[in-house]
Structure 1
Protein backbone atom coordinates (compact mmCIF):
# COMPACT_ATOMS: atom_id res chain seq x y z
CA UNK A 1 0.00 0.00 0.00
CA UNK A 2 2.83 2.36 0.92
CA UNK A 3 4.61 1.65 -2.37
CA UNK A 4 1.40 2.29 -4.31
CA UNK A 5 0.88 5.66 -2.61
CA UNK A 6 4.51 6.54 -3.25
CA UNK A 7 4.13 5.68 -6.94
CA UNK A 8 1.00 7.84 -7.27
CA UNK A 9 2.71 10.73 -5.48
CA UNK A 10 5.78 10.47 -7.69
CA UNK A 11 3.67 10.29 -10.84
CA UNK A 12 1.75 13.43 -9.96
CA UNK A 13 4.91 15.27 -8.97
CA UNK A 14 6.94 14.12 -11.96
CA UNK A 15 4.26 14.88 -14.53
CA UNK A 16 3.56 18.26 -12.96
CA UNK A 17 7.26 19.14 -12.95
CA UNK A 18 7.59 18.00 -16.57
CA UNK A 19 4.67 20.13 -17.72
CA UNK A 20 5.94 23.17 -15.82
CA UNK A 21 9.31 22.68 -17.54
CA UNK A 22 7.52 22.34 -20.88
CA UNK A 23 5.60 25.56 -20.33
CA UNK A 24 8.76 27.45 -19.35
CA UNK A 25 10.55 26.01 -22.37
CA UNK A 26 7.69 27.08 -24.66
CA UNK A 27 7.99 30.68 -23.44
CA UNK A 28 11.76 30.56 -24.03
CA UNK A 29 11.31 29.16 -27.54
CA UNK A 30 8.56 31.55 -28.63
CA UNK A 31 10.13 34.69 -27.14
CA UNK A 32 13.51 33.63 -28.52
CA UNK A 33 12.15 33.14 -32.03
CA UNK A 34 10.42 36.51 -31.85
CA UNK A 35 13.38 38.49 -30.53
CA UNK A 36 16.25 36.67 -32.25
CA UNK A 37 14.67 35.86 -35.62
CA UNK A 38 11.39 37.65 -36.38
CA UNK A 39 12.29 41.19 -35.29
CA UNK A 40 15.79 41.21 -36.86
CA UNK A 41 14.31 39.74 -40.04
CA UNK A 42 11.85 42.61 -40.24
CA UNK A 43 14.14 45.48 -39.28
CA UNK A 44 17.80 44.73 -39.89
CA UNK A 45 19.36 45.00 -43.36
CA UNK A 46 22.84 43.48 -43.57
CA UNK A 47 25.54 46.11 -44.13
CA UNK A 48 22.96 48.80 -44.94
CA UNK A 49 23.02 51.38 -42.16
CA UNK A 50 20.56 53.73 -43.82
CA UNK A 51 17.88 51.10 -44.45
CA UNK A 52 18.29 49.61 -40.98
CA UNK A 53 18.06 53.03 -39.33
CA UNK A 54 14.93 53.82 -41.35
CA UNK A 55 13.29 50.51 -40.45
CA UNK A 56 13.95 50.91 -36.73
CA UNK A 57 12.81 54.52 -36.55
CA UNK A 58 9.59 53.78 -38.45
CA UNK A 59 8.93 50.58 -36.46
CA UNK A 60 10.30 51.59 -33.08
CA UNK A 61 7.50 49.83 -31.22
CA UNK A 62 8.42 46.51 -32.83
CA UNK A 63 12.07 47.10 -31.94
CA UNK A 64 11.10 47.78 -28.31
CA UNK A 65 8.93 44.66 -28.21
CA UNK A 66 11.97 42.76 -29.48
CA UNK A 67 13.92 43.94 -26.45
CA UNK A 68 11.04 42.95 -24.18
CA UNK A 69 10.95 39.53 -25.85
CA UNK A 70 14.64 39.09 -25.05
CA UNK A 71 14.09 40.04 -21.41
CA UNK A 72 11.29 37.47 -21.14
CA UNK A 73 13.36 34.82 -22.91
CA UNK A 74 16.42 35.24 -20.69
CA UNK A 75 14.38 35.46 -17.49
CA UNK A 76 12.55 32.23 -18.21
CA UNK A 77 15.79 30.60 -19.33
CA UNK A 78 17.16 31.35 -15.87
CA UNK A 79 14.30 29.41 -14.28
CA UNK A 80 14.00 26.57 -16.80
CA UNK A 81 17.20 24.64 -15.93
CA UNK A 82 16.29 24.73 -12.24
CA UNK A 83 13.00 22.97 -12.98
CA UNK A 84 14.74 20.52 -15.30
CA UNK A 85 17.24 19.84 -12.51
CA UNK A 86 14.36 18.82 -10.23
CA UNK A 87 13.07 16.51 -12.95
CA UNK A 88 16.38 14.91 -13.94
CA UNK A 89 18.71 15.07 -10.93
CA UNK A 90 18.00 11.45 -9.97
CA UNK A 91 19.56 10.33 -13.27
CA UNK A 92 22.98 11.83 -12.58
CA UNK A 93 23.42 14.67 -10.12
CA UNK A 94 26.78 15.79 -11.53
CA UNK A 95 25.44 16.09 -15.06
CA UNK A 96 22.32 17.84 -13.75
CA UNK A 97 24.43 20.39 -11.90
CA UNK A 98 26.59 20.94 -15.00
CA UNK A 99 23.43 21.49 -17.05
CA UNK A 100 22.25 24.21 -14.66
CA UNK A 101 25.61 25.98 -14.43
CA UNK A 102 26.22 26.04 -18.19
CA UNK A 103 22.70 27.35 -18.88
CA UNK A 104 22.68 29.99 -16.15
CA UNK A 105 26.11 31.37 -17.13
CA UNK A 106 24.65 32.56 -20.44
CA UNK A 107 21.97 34.70 -18.79
CA UNK A 108 24.11 37.60 -17.45
CA UNK A 109 26.04 37.60 -20.75
CA UNK A 110 22.76 37.93 -22.63
CA UNK A 111 21.37 40.66 -20.38
CA UNK A 112 24.55 42.73 -20.55
CA UNK A 113 24.54 42.31 -24.32
CA UNK A 114 21.07 43.93 -24.45
CA UNK A 115 22.73 47.23 -23.52
CA UNK A 116 23.65 47.48 -27.21
CA UNK A 117 19.95 47.62 -28.14
CA UNK A 118 19.26 50.22 -25.45
CA UNK A 119 22.11 52.24 -26.98
CA UNK A 120 20.26 52.07 -30.30
CA UNK A 121 17.15 53.48 -28.61
CA UNK A 122 19.26 56.36 -27.36
CA UNK A 123 20.70 57.01 -30.82
CA UNK A 124 17.26 57.19 -32.47
CA UNK A 125 15.72 59.28 -29.67
CA UNK A 126 16.35 62.61 -31.46
CA UNK A 127 17.80 64.06 -28.27
CA UNK A 128 19.33 67.50 -28.72
CA UNK A 129 22.87 66.42 -27.93
CA UNK A 130 22.78 63.98 -30.88
CA UNK A 131 22.67 66.87 -33.35
CA UNK A 132 26.48 66.90 -33.35
CA UNK A 133 26.33 63.68 -35.39
CA UNK A 134 25.71 63.86 -39.11
CA UNK A 135 22.95 61.55 -40.35
CA UNK A 136 25.28 58.98 -41.89
CA UNK A 137 27.44 58.84 -38.78
CA UNK A 138 24.38 58.37 -36.57
CA UNK A 139 23.19 55.55 -38.80
CA UNK A 140 26.64 53.95 -38.69
CA UNK A 141 26.57 54.10 -34.88
CA UNK A 142 23.26 52.25 -34.86
CA UNK A 143 24.60 49.52 -37.14
CA UNK A 144 27.78 49.31 -35.05
CA UNK A 145 25.78 48.64 -31.86
CA UNK A 146 23.63 46.07 -33.64
CA UNK A 147 26.77 44.29 -34.84
CA UNK A 148 28.14 44.40 -31.30
CA UNK A 149 24.86 42.86 -30.16
CA UNK A 150 25.27 40.06 -32.71
CA UNK A 151 28.82 39.50 -31.48
CA UNK A 152 27.55 39.26 -27.92
CA UNK A 153 25.03 36.66 -28.99
CA UNK A 154 27.87 34.65 -30.48
CA UNK A 155 29.56 34.56 -27.08
CA UNK A 156 26.30 33.56 -25.41
CA UNK A 157 25.75 30.86 -28.03
CA UNK A 158 28.75 28.95 -26.67
CA UNK A 159 26.77 28.30 -23.50
CA UNK A 160 23.47 27.88 -25.39
CA UNK A 161 25.25 24.92 -26.94
CA UNK A 162 27.27 23.58 -24.00
CA UNK A 163 24.30 23.13 -21.68
CA UNK A 164 22.61 20.90 -24.26
CA UNK A 165 25.18 18.12 -23.83
CA UNK A 166 24.51 17.32 -20.16
CA UNK A 167 20.82 18.00 -20.75
CA UNK A 168 20.75 15.59 -23.69
CA UNK A 169 22.68 12.97 -21.72
CA UNK A 170 20.18 13.18 -18.88
CA UNK A 171 17.24 12.91 -21.28
CA UNK A 172 18.86 9.92 -23.01
CA UNK A 173 19.58 8.07 -19.75
CA UNK A 174 16.44 9.05 -17.87
CA UNK A 175 13.97 6.60 -19.35
CA UNK A 176 11.23 9.19 -18.88
CA UNK A 177 11.70 10.94 -22.24
CA UNK A 178 12.36 9.55 -25.75
CA UNK A 179 16.04 8.74 -26.29
CA UNK A 180 16.00 10.37 -29.73
CA UNK A 181 15.45 13.74 -28.07
CA UNK A 182 18.56 13.20 -25.97
CA UNK A 183 20.59 12.33 -29.07
CA UNK A 184 19.38 15.47 -30.88
CA UNK A 185 20.17 17.66 -27.88
CA UNK A 186 23.71 16.29 -27.55
CA UNK A 187 24.26 16.72 -31.30
CA UNK A 188 22.88 20.24 -30.96
CA UNK A 189 25.66 21.08 -28.52
CA UNK A 190 28.28 20.38 -31.20
CA UNK A 191 26.17 22.19 -33.79
CA UNK A 192 26.29 25.40 -31.76
CA UNK A 193 30.04 25.06 -31.24
CA UNK A 194 30.64 24.40 -34.93
CA UNK A 195 28.53 27.45 -35.83
CA UNK A 196 30.48 29.65 -33.40
CA UNK A 197 33.81 28.43 -34.74
CA UNK A 198 32.71 28.82 -38.35
CA UNK A 199 31.53 32.41 -37.85
CA UNK A 200 34.74 33.26 -36.03
CA UNK A 201 37.20 31.72 -38.48
CA UNK A 202 35.49 31.66 -41.88
CA UNK A 203 34.47 34.95 -43.55
CA UNK A 204 31.08 34.58 -45.17
CA UNK A 205 30.20 31.51 -43.11
CA UNK A 206 26.54 32.59 -42.91
CA UNK A 207 26.30 32.36 -46.70
CA UNK A 208 27.56 28.77 -46.73
CA UNK A 209 25.00 25.98 -47.14
CA UNK A 210 26.19 24.20 -44.00
CA UNK A 211 25.20 27.17 -41.84
CA UNK A 212 21.53 26.40 -42.46
CA UNK A 213 21.81 22.83 -41.18
CA UNK A 214 24.46 22.72 -38.49
CA UNK A 215 22.15 23.95 -35.71
CA UNK A 216 19.14 21.97 -36.96
CA UNK A 217 19.59 19.11 -34.43
CA UNK A 218 19.49 21.66 -31.59
CA UNK A 219 16.29 23.20 -32.92
CA UNK A 220 14.62 19.82 -33.39
CA UNK A 221 15.81 18.58 -30.02
CA UNK A 222 14.79 21.65 -28.06
CA UNK A 223 11.41 22.17 -29.72
CA UNK A 224 10.70 18.43 -29.56
CA UNK A 225 11.61 18.26 -25.87
CA UNK A 226 9.55 21.35 -25.14
CA UNK A 227 6.44 19.93 -26.80
CA UNK A 228 6.91 16.46 -25.32
CA UNK A 229 7.23 17.84 -21.79
CA UNK A 230 4.25 20.14 -22.27
CA UNK A 231 1.90 17.67 -23.94
CA UNK A 232 3.02 14.21 -22.85
CA UNK A 233 4.67 15.02 -19.53
CA UNK A 234 7.25 12.43 -18.53
CA UNK A 235 7.13 8.66 -18.28
CA UNK A 236 7.34 7.34 -14.78
CA UNK A 237 10.03 5.01 -13.51
CA UNK A 238 8.64 2.06 -11.67
CA UNK A 239 9.01 1.99 -7.91
CA UNK A 240 10.30 -1.37 -6.73
CA UNK A 241 8.03 -3.41 -4.45
Structure 2
Protein backbone atom coordinates (compact mmCIF):
# COMPACT_ATOMS: atom_id res chain seq x y z
CA UNK A 1 0.00 0.00 0.00
CA UNK A 2 2.89 2.38 0.73
CA UNK A 3 4.33 1.72 -2.74
CA UNK A 4 0.88 2.29 -4.25
CA UNK A 5 0.44 5.59 -2.38
CA UNK A 6 3.87 6.71 -3.58
CA UNK A 7 2.83 5.99 -7.16
CA UNK A 8 -0.54 7.74 -6.86
CA UNK A 9 0.70 10.93 -5.19
CA UNK A 10 3.95 11.08 -7.15
CA UNK A 11 2.17 10.32 -10.41
CA UNK A 12 -0.33 13.13 -9.82
CA UNK A 13 2.32 15.72 -8.85
CA UNK A 14 5.06 14.89 -11.34
CA UNK A 15 3.34 12.89 -14.04
CA UNK A 16 0.05 14.75 -14.44
CA UNK A 17 0.36 18.24 -12.95
CA UNK A 18 3.98 19.24 -13.54
CA UNK A 19 3.80 19.03 -17.38
CA UNK A 20 0.71 21.28 -17.24
CA UNK A 21 2.66 24.04 -15.47
CA UNK A 22 6.23 24.14 -16.76
CA UNK A 23 6.97 25.22 -20.33
CA UNK A 24 10.72 25.09 -20.97
CA UNK A 25 12.12 28.45 -22.03
CA UNK A 26 8.73 30.21 -22.02
CA UNK A 27 8.38 32.50 -19.01
CA UNK A 28 5.01 33.95 -20.07
CA UNK A 29 3.36 30.55 -20.61
CA UNK A 30 4.77 29.10 -17.38
CA UNK A 31 3.54 32.07 -15.35
CA UNK A 32 0.12 31.92 -17.00
CA UNK A 33 -0.14 28.19 -16.27
CA UNK A 34 0.70 28.70 -12.62
CA UNK A 35 -1.75 31.57 -12.27
CA UNK A 36 -4.58 29.69 -13.97
CA UNK A 37 -3.95 26.48 -12.01
CA UNK A 38 -2.83 27.93 -8.67
CA UNK A 39 -5.11 25.78 -6.49
CA UNK A 40 -4.22 22.65 -8.44
CA UNK A 41 -0.54 23.54 -8.06
CA UNK A 42 -0.96 23.74 -4.28
CA UNK A 43 -2.55 20.29 -4.25
CA UNK A 44 0.37 19.07 -6.34
CA UNK A 45 2.89 20.46 -3.87
CA UNK A 46 1.16 18.70 -0.97
CA UNK A 47 0.87 15.50 -3.02
CA UNK A 48 4.61 15.58 -3.71
CA UNK A 49 5.39 15.97 0.00
CA UNK A 50 3.02 13.15 0.92
CA UNK A 51 4.47 10.94 -1.81
CA UNK A 52 8.00 11.39 -0.48
CA UNK A 53 6.82 10.63 3.05
CA UNK A 54 5.35 7.36 1.81
CA UNK A 55 8.59 6.71 -0.09
CA UNK A 56 10.68 6.88 3.09
CA UNK A 57 8.15 4.72 4.97
CA UNK A 58 8.27 2.23 2.09
CA UNK A 59 12.07 2.04 2.29
CA UNK A 60 11.95 1.46 6.06
CA UNK A 61 9.34 -1.29 5.61
CA UNK A 62 11.41 -3.00 2.92
CA UNK A 63 14.46 -2.69 5.17
CA UNK A 64 12.68 -4.61 7.94
CA UNK A 65 11.58 -7.23 5.40
CA UNK A 66 14.94 -7.67 3.65
CA UNK A 67 17.68 -6.71 6.15
CA UNK A 68 18.41 -10.36 6.97
CA UNK A 69 19.40 -10.95 3.34
CA UNK A 70 22.24 -8.39 3.49
CA UNK A 71 22.11 -5.61 6.05
CA UNK A 72 24.69 -3.42 4.29
CA UNK A 73 22.80 -3.47 0.99
CA UNK A 74 19.51 -2.87 2.79
CA UNK A 75 21.00 0.18 4.52
CA UNK A 76 22.31 1.50 1.21
CA UNK A 77 18.81 1.17 -0.23
CA UNK A 78 17.34 3.26 2.59
CA UNK A 79 20.05 5.94 2.27
CA UNK A 80 19.40 6.30 -1.46
CA UNK A 81 15.67 6.66 -0.85
CA UNK A 82 16.23 9.31 1.82
CA UNK A 83 18.46 11.27 -0.58
CA UNK A 84 15.85 11.04 -3.35
CA UNK A 85 13.09 12.18 -0.99
CA UNK A 86 15.16 15.05 0.39
CA UNK A 87 16.03 16.43 -3.05
CA UNK A 88 12.41 16.11 -4.20
CA UNK A 89 11.12 17.97 -1.13
CA UNK A 90 13.64 20.75 -1.79
CA UNK A 91 12.38 20.92 -5.38
CA UNK A 92 8.88 21.53 -4.05
CA UNK A 93 10.15 24.73 -2.39
CA UNK A 94 11.20 26.07 -5.81
CA UNK A 95 7.78 25.25 -7.24
CA UNK A 96 6.05 26.92 -4.29
CA UNK A 97 8.16 30.08 -4.61
CA UNK A 98 7.41 30.21 -8.33
CA UNK A 99 3.72 29.97 -7.48
CA UNK A 100 4.06 32.73 -4.87
CA UNK A 101 5.63 35.09 -7.40
CA UNK A 102 3.15 34.22 -10.17
CA UNK A 103 0.13 34.87 -7.94
CA UNK A 104 1.54 38.05 -6.42
CA UNK A 105 1.98 36.67 -2.90
CA UNK A 106 5.63 37.70 -3.26
CA UNK A 107 5.90 41.21 -4.67
CA UNK A 108 8.26 41.21 -7.65
CA UNK A 109 6.68 44.25 -9.31
CA UNK A 110 9.96 46.19 -9.08
CA UNK A 111 11.33 43.80 -11.71
CA UNK A 112 8.54 44.60 -14.13
CA UNK A 113 6.22 42.03 -15.74
CA UNK A 114 8.99 40.55 -17.87
CA UNK A 115 11.40 40.29 -14.95
CA UNK A 116 8.75 38.76 -12.70
CA UNK A 117 7.85 36.16 -15.34
CA UNK A 118 11.53 35.33 -15.81
CA UNK A 119 11.90 34.79 -12.06
CA UNK A 120 8.93 32.40 -12.10
CA UNK A 121 10.51 30.46 -14.96
CA UNK A 122 13.83 30.34 -13.14
CA UNK A 123 12.15 28.80 -10.09
CA UNK A 124 10.41 26.11 -12.11
CA UNK A 125 13.51 25.55 -14.23
CA UNK A 126 15.42 24.86 -11.00
CA UNK A 127 12.69 22.41 -10.03
CA UNK A 128 12.84 20.78 -13.47
CA UNK A 129 16.54 19.97 -13.24
CA UNK A 130 16.21 19.22 -9.55
CA UNK A 131 13.84 16.42 -10.47
CA UNK A 132 16.60 14.90 -12.59
CA UNK A 133 18.99 15.14 -9.64
CA UNK A 134 16.43 13.31 -7.50
CA UNK A 135 15.98 10.81 -10.32
CA UNK A 136 19.63 9.84 -9.94
CA UNK A 137 18.76 8.39 -6.54
CA UNK A 138 15.33 7.17 -7.68
CA UNK A 139 17.22 5.03 -10.16
CA UNK A 140 20.03 3.88 -7.90
CA UNK A 141 17.77 2.61 -5.11
CA UNK A 142 16.23 0.04 -7.44
CA UNK A 143 19.50 -1.88 -7.82
CA UNK A 144 19.94 -2.78 -4.12
CA UNK A 145 16.22 -3.53 -4.06
CA UNK A 146 16.69 -5.89 -7.02
CA UNK A 147 19.67 -7.59 -5.33
CA UNK A 148 17.76 -8.10 -2.08
CA UNK A 149 14.64 -9.25 -3.92
CA UNK A 150 16.57 -11.90 -5.87
CA UNK A 151 18.72 -13.10 -2.98
CA UNK A 152 15.75 -13.36 -0.64
CA UNK A 153 13.73 -15.52 -2.99
CA UNK A 154 10.70 -13.44 -2.04
CA UNK A 155 10.18 -12.05 -5.54
CA UNK A 156 10.32 -13.50 -9.08
CA UNK A 157 13.81 -13.22 -10.57
CA UNK A 158 12.58 -11.56 -13.80
CA UNK A 159 11.23 -8.72 -11.68
CA UNK A 160 14.70 -8.17 -10.21
CA UNK A 161 16.21 -8.01 -13.70
CA UNK A 162 13.67 -5.41 -14.82
CA UNK A 163 14.46 -3.32 -11.72
CA UNK A 164 18.15 -3.23 -12.69
CA UNK A 165 17.23 -2.24 -16.24
CA UNK A 166 15.09 0.52 -14.76
CA UNK A 167 18.15 1.83 -12.92
CA UNK A 168 20.07 1.98 -16.20
CA UNK A 169 17.17 3.75 -17.91
CA UNK A 170 16.84 6.33 -15.11
CA UNK A 171 20.57 7.09 -15.18
CA UNK A 172 20.67 7.45 -18.96
CA UNK A 173 17.76 9.89 -18.72
CA UNK A 174 19.72 11.98 -16.19
CA UNK A 175 22.87 11.99 -18.33
CA UNK A 176 20.96 13.08 -21.43
CA UNK A 177 19.19 15.85 -19.48
CA UNK A 178 22.49 17.47 -18.49
CA UNK A 179 24.74 16.56 -21.41
CA UNK A 180 22.24 16.84 -24.29
CA UNK A 181 19.40 19.03 -22.97
CA UNK A 182 18.07 19.70 -26.47
CA UNK A 183 17.44 15.97 -26.92
CA UNK A 184 16.12 15.33 -23.42
CA UNK A 185 12.46 16.15 -24.06
CA UNK A 186 12.27 13.76 -26.99
CA UNK A 187 13.99 10.87 -25.19
CA UNK A 188 12.47 11.28 -21.74
CA UNK A 189 9.32 9.36 -22.64
CA UNK A 190 11.38 6.50 -24.05
CA UNK A 191 13.55 6.29 -20.92
CA UNK A 192 10.43 6.26 -18.73
CA UNK A 193 9.00 3.03 -20.17
CA UNK A 194 11.19 0.47 -18.37
CA UNK A 195 11.00 2.20 -14.94
CA UNK A 196 7.21 2.35 -15.27
CA UNK A 197 7.03 -1.37 -16.09
CA UNK A 198 9.41 -2.27 -13.25
CA UNK A 199 7.76 -0.24 -10.51
CA UNK A 200 4.18 -0.95 -11.55
CA UNK A 201 5.15 -4.62 -11.73
CA UNK A 202 6.53 -4.50 -8.19
CA UNK A 203 3.41 -2.78 -6.86
CA UNK A 204 1.07 -5.25 -8.56
CA UNK A 205 3.07 -8.25 -7.38
CA UNK A 206 3.00 -7.05 -3.77
CA UNK A 207 -0.70 -6.20 -3.90
CA UNK A 208 -1.80 -9.41 -5.61
CA UNK A 209 0.65 -12.04 -4.40
CA UNK A 210 2.46 -10.57 -1.39
CA UNK A 211 5.94 -12.06 -0.94
CA UNK A 212 7.28 -15.60 -1.13
CA UNK A 213 8.65 -16.70 2.24
CA UNK A 214 10.13 -19.96 3.56
CA UNK A 215 7.30 -21.91 5.16
CA UNK A 216 8.47 -25.46 5.62
CA UNK A 217 11.05 -28.07 4.64
CA UNK A 218 9.77 -31.05 2.71
CA UNK A 219 12.16 -33.89 1.84
CA UNK A 220 15.15 -31.63 2.30
CA UNK A 221 13.82 -28.91 0.01
CA UNK A 222 12.67 -25.47 1.05
CA UNK A 223 9.07 -24.78 0.12
CA UNK A 224 8.06 -21.20 -0.75
CA UNK A 225 4.55 -20.03 -0.11
CA UNK A 226 2.76 -16.79 -0.85
CA UNK A 227 1.95 -14.50 2.08
With normalisation by structure 2, the TM-score equals 0.89
Query: What's the counterpart of residue 133 of structure 1?
Result: 111
Q: Offset at 1:214?
A: 2.6
Q: Offset at 1:187?
A: 1.2
| Farther off after superposition, 41-50 or 179-188 | 41-50
Counterpart among 157, 161, 170 of residue 179 in structure 1: 157
What is the rounded CA distance, in whole Å, between the counterparts of 1:203 and 1:121 in structure 2?
Answer: 25
Higher relative contact order (CA 8 A, sep 6+): 1
Query: What's the counterpart of residue 149 of structure 1?
Result: 127
What is the rounded CA distance, in whole Å, between the counterparts of 1:129 and 1:207 in structure 2?
Answer: 32
- Structure 2 unaligned runs (5+)? 219-227
What is the rounded CA distance, in whole Å, between the counterparts of 2:181 and 2:106 in structure 1?
Answer: 39
With normalisation by structure 1, the TM-score equals 0.84
What is the rounded CA distance, in whole Å, between the counterparts of 2:112 and 2:84 in structure 1?
Answer: 36
Q: Offset at 1:207?
A: 4.0
Aligned pair 1:223/2:200, yes or no? yes
Query: What's the counterpart of residue 235 of structure 1?
Result: 212
| Farther off after superposition, 26-35 or 117-126 | 117-126
What is the rounded CA distance, in whole Å, between the counterparts of 2:99 and 2:189 in structure 1?
Answer: 31
Query: What's the counterpart of residue 42 of structure 2?
Result: 64
Structure with more of its chain in strand, by fraction: 2
| Farther off after superposition, 148-157 or 91-100 | 91-100
Q: How does 1:208-219 map to 2 (within 5 A)?
A: 208=186, 210-219=187-196
Is the contact made by 1:169 and 1:182 (CA closer than 8 Å) also made in structure 2? yes
Deviation string, structure 1 residues 72-112 (Cα, Å, up to 9, x no partner): 11111111111011122222222212111111122222212
Deviation string, structure 1 residues 92-135 (Cα, Å, up to 9, x no partner): 22221211111112222221222101211320232484321211
Residue 134 of structure 1 aligns to a residue whose secondary structure is helix
